[in-house]
Amino acid sequence: MPGTLLVIGGAESHDAGDDAILERFVSLAGGSDAQLVVIATASEAPAQREKEYVEVFHRLGVERVTPVRLESREDANGEPAVGAIERATGVFFTGGDQLRITTAVGGSKVDSALHARLSDGMVLAGTSAGAAMMSSTMILGGSIASVSTSSVQTGPGLEFLPGVLIDMHFAERGRLNRLLSAIAMFPHELGLGIDENTAILVDTDAAVFEVLGAGAVTVIDAGPARRINCPAADQPIALWGVQLHVLPAGHRFNLTERTPMKRSEEDHAD
């Protein structure tokens, strides 16, 4: 059974009756039988974030929810954390600063355990910073003011979803330019701009994702670009012939072929 990734663009709704994304996470992780781990390492107020998610997962019918506090490399190499991951059917990374995740977790025993559990079929979810860190190359920060090599900073992520570059809060923070800047420099990566309260659910085996939630996922594919010119520093980048797709809930995308796919319910239609 392939592992499942749930990559959320931030600010997913926690309200009862309007929490489809978190409900989907719970359901994929086993519903009331789920054993969940919440990792709020990205946050500067981890206790508060842990409390929030424990409460919402309890409300969604999961009894066993364990916050795992990873504040140091020592924590991330410690038996308690590794044991919790090994028992988990679902792990949730909260938002905050993605560098706090990679510096604490990258290359640790928890990192290895997460990859192993994902291969075993676990559900790994992350929102905002917890989403950004999922790809091989992640966006660390940047500016929306122009498309230039200085408009975006990238670095290695935790490699749960290779081949993509994920940006979050995409529409809400007007981040097209910083994603285009990154994709112009690294066109072998596919750019995924995920709106708030919106997610992609990735079947890692099939390399197909489906969009969930209220907003859309903007896919930027510079593979077919006929011209990319990346001058130094803050000089504007030229990009000719980028493919762009806007995919709302229900739409699917094949990450290998880089093409949108019909929605499941349309498989036998037209």
Give residues in contact with its own copies (CB under 8 A). 144-147, 171-177, 180, 184, 195, 214-216, 218, 220, 226-227, 235-249, 251, 260
- List the structure tokens of 137: 């190359």
Other beta carbons within 10 angstroms of residue 87's beta carbon come to 12
φ/ψ of residue 168, rounded to 5: -125, 175
Indicate the residue among 29 and 147 with the shorter CB distance to its own copies. 147
- Smallest separation (angstroms) from its own copies to the CB of 48: 26
Whether 196 is catalytic: yes
Query: CA-to-CA distance for 40 and 21, rounded, in angstroms?
Result: 18
Indicate the residue among 3 and 9 with the shorter CB distance to its own copies. 9
Whether 43 is catalytic: no
From the CA atom positions of the chain, what is the Rg in Å?
18
For 47, the enclosing helix (H) or strand (E) is helix 46-59
Q: Supply the angle between the helices 109-119 and 79-87 in degrees, to the nearest 10.
A: 10
Identified catalytic residue from 23, 50, 189, 196: 196
Indicate the residue among 163 and 248 with the shorter CB distance to its own copies. 248
- Smallest separation (angstroms) from its own copies to the CB of 96: 22
Whether 115 is catalytic: no
Indicate the residue among 56 and 247 with the shorter CB distance to its own copies. 247
For 217, the enclosing helix (H) or strand (E) is strand 216-221
Identified catalytic residue from 43, 108, 128, 181: 128
Residues annotated as catalytic (active site), given as ranges: 128, 169, 196
